[in-house]
Amino acid sequence: MNSEINCSKPNVDKICRACLLEKQNMVSIYETDMEKMFIYCTSLTVEKNDNLPTFICDQCNTEMNRAYLFKQLCIQSYFKLIEMKNTYDEALEQSEVQSEDNSKLDDEAIKSKTRIKRPKHNIGDFKCNFCNETFELESDCKTHLISHPIDNVPLCTICDKHFSDLKVLKRHVRIHMLNKPYRCEICEKCFSESGSLTRHLRKHRGEKRHLCTVCGKGFYEANVLAVHMRTHTGEKPIECKICQKKFADPNGLRSHMKSHTGEKNYLCVICNKLFSHSFVLKKHLRVHSGEKPYLCSVCGKAFSQSHYVSVHMRQHTGELPYKCTVCDKGFTQNSQLEMHMRIHTGVKPYICAVCGKACARSGDLITHMRSHTGEKPFACQICPKRYVTSSHLTVHMRSHSGERSHICSTCGKGFIEGQGLKAHIRIHTGEKPYECNVCGHRFAQSGALAMHRKTHLNDKDKQN
C-alpha cells in the first residue's frame, strides 16, 4: 500500500518563527536586540543561514517581551532569596536580643517600605521621535506613540477610553506598557506610575482617608468613594449601549455585558453547566449539595437563596406587589406578571426549530422539544416508568404512595389527579361537555365519546 507524504517546503518569508502562522505585522528576528532576547528566552540558537523563518509576529514579540521580564524578575528574586537566606540566622539572633526595640524597628521598616522609591533612570534603547522619551522595550515605545496622535484626539486606541487632554492620555498609556518600574517592596506588585503605587501602599498601611459622609464607611481611593455614594443617591450614570440598562458601578456594567456576549467562564464540575459569574455558580452548587441555609421565620421552610425567602414571605403577608394593568390580577414576582401578560398580548417568543410551534415560556419550549427527541428525563425510583415533566412524575408517584389529595366536596371521594376529580364532579352536576358530531349525543367524559364514535364506524362497515 503506497502512502503519499506532503513534503512541500513552507514559505519561510511569510510565517512567524514562533507560532508558524502568517501574520500581517512581522518583525525581523535580527533587528536591534531581538536576536539576543530570543536566545535568552528560548535557549535556542539563531543562525542567519539556517533556512528557517526570520520574522516574528507582533503577538509573539509581545509574549517574548513578557517572558524576558518574567525571567529577569525570577533572577532578581533568586538573588534576593539567597541574600535573605544568608542573613536569616543573624537577623534571628538580633530579634532575640533586642525584642523591645523590634516593635519600633518594625514600624520604621513598614514606613520605609511604604515610602516611594524612585527607580533609577535608565536610558533605554528605544527612543520616541516626538518627545525623546526612551524605553527599555520596543513594545513599550510603540504603546507610548498612542499619546502622540496625528489628529490630536486624546483617545487610547487600546481600550477606547477618551481623555480631557494629551497629558492625561500620556499618563494613561503607561498602564498598557509591559515595563512597570514602580514596585511595592512589601508584596512585589509593580505599577507604571508612582501615584498608583502611592494609592496601593495605603492598603498596606490600612489608611482609608476617604470617608462616606452618610454611613461613615472608609475607602482607600476617592474614585471608589464617589462610586459608593451612588448607593445613597440612587444615581446610575453608566449606560449599556446595547439595551440602555443603567448602572452605578463600572463593574456592574462589565458583569452585565456578559449577558449580551454570552461569555460563561465558570464551570460546574458536577454537571458541566457554565455560568457568567462566580456567585451564580456558587448558588447553583447548592442544587447538587442540597444546602438550604436561608430559613423562613414564619413556617421554617428552607431555601437555597436569600431572595427566595423574600418572595416566599409574600405568601404569609398576602403581598402582591406586581399588578396586571389589564385585569388587575396581582403576583408575588415580576417574572410571573411578565408571563401572565402574554395571555393578553398573545406574544409567544419561543419558537420550536423543528415544527415551528410557538411557546409563551422558555420552559414550555424545552418540554415541547422532548416530543421530538423522545427524551424522558424524569424517572420513577420504584418502577421503570419515565416522564417528560417533573409534574407528571409527581402525579405518578401518588399511585405508589396511595395519596389522593384531590377530594370531591360532594361525596368525599379522593383522586390522584385534579383531572380525575374534574371528570368525577360531572356525575354530580350532570354536565356533559363532549358532543358527538354525527348524532348529537352528549357525554360527560371524552373517553366515553371516543367509544361512542366507534359505533358509527361499525354502522358504516355494515352498510358497505
Return binding residues for Zn(2+). 16, 19, 57, 60
Please enumerate in sequence order all residues whose Cβ is within 8 A of that of 77, keeping only pairs 6 or more positions apart, or say none. 188
- Strands 190-191 and 182-183, how do they pair? antiparallel
Asked whether the beta carbons of 415 and 403 are under 8 A apart, the reply is no
What backbone torsions phi and psi does residue 292 show, to the nearest 5 degrees?
Answer: -135, 85
Q: What percent of the residues of the chain are helix, what percent strand, and what percent coil, each to the nearest 5?
A: 45, 10, 45
- Cell digits of residue 412: 368525599
Label residue 94 exposed, middle or buried (CB < 10 Å: 0-12, 13-18, 19+): middle
366: nearest Cα among 345, 348, 388, 386: 388
Please enumerate in sequence order all residues whose Cβ is within 8 A of that of 459, keeping only pairs 6 or more positions apart, or say none. none
Asked whether the beta carbons of 229 and 212 are under 8 A apart, the reply is yes
Tell me how far CA of residue 373 lies from CA of 349, 366, 367, 379, in angstroms: 21, 11, 10, 16
Label residue 9 exposed, middle or buried (CB < 10 Å: 0-12, 13-18, 19+): exposed
Radius of gyration of the chain (CA): 37
Scanning 151-249, the segments in alpha helix (DSSP H) are 166-173, 194-205, 222-233
Write out the binding residues: 16, 19, 57, 60
185: nearest Cα among 205, 158, 207, 208: 205
Look up residue 40 and give its amino acid.
Y
Distance from CA of residue 345 to its chain's centroid?
A: 33
Please enumerate in sequence order all residues whose Cβ is within 8 A of that of 391, keeping only pairs 6 or more positions apart, or say none. none
Q: Assign 3-class secondary structure to 26-85.
A: EEECCCCCHHHHHHHHHCCCCCCCCCCCCEEEHHHHHHHHHHHHHHHHHHHHHHHHHHHH
Look up residue 182 and give its amino acid.
Y
Please enumerate in sequence order all residues whose Cβ is within 8 A of that of 51, keeping only pairs 6 or more positions apart, or say none. 12
